[in-house]
Structure 1
Amino acid sequence: MNFELQVKSELIKQKKTLTDLANEMGVSVAYVSDIVKGNRKAEHYRNKICKILKIKNKRG
């Protein structure tokens, strides 16, 4: 499963939105969306997303 699908699936399971995730991270929704879609490298924030959602950080 790619990162975007993994994140979206986990957000649904946890009844969270991308806005909730962005607020927890202290960044904009657009920035989180770019990271999730793979448009930005931002490895630090990618790791933070994984930690918040309790998912594994897999590339691809």
Structure 2
Amino acid sequence: MDNKIEFEVEVKEAMLRKGITMTDIANELGVSVGYVSDIVKGNRKPEHYRKEISAILGLKGK
């Protein structure tokens, strides 16, 4: 699986598992919900916030 797609899938699954919303992530990052939505949908590259999103969701090695 492509790394970009793999990250998106892992983010979506972790959000569901942990009950974390895009609003929660947006608030933690200090960005809009739309920005987070674009990352989750794959419309925006997550590289700037990849580590922060991974930390919020408890994803290891991302």
Q: TM-score range by the shorter chain?
A: 0.7 to 0.9
Higher RCO (CA 8 Å, separation ≥ 6 residues): 1
Matched, 1:45 2:49: yes
Instruction: State the percentage of identical aligned residues.
Output: 58
Alignment of 1:10-29 (within 5 A): 10-29=14-33
Gaps of 5+ in 1: none
**Aligned AA (1:38):** G
Aligned length: 57
The TM-score normalised by the length of structure 2 is 0.73
- Give the RMSD, CA atoms, in angstroms: 1.7
- Uncovered stretches (5+) of structure 2, i.e. residues with no partner: none
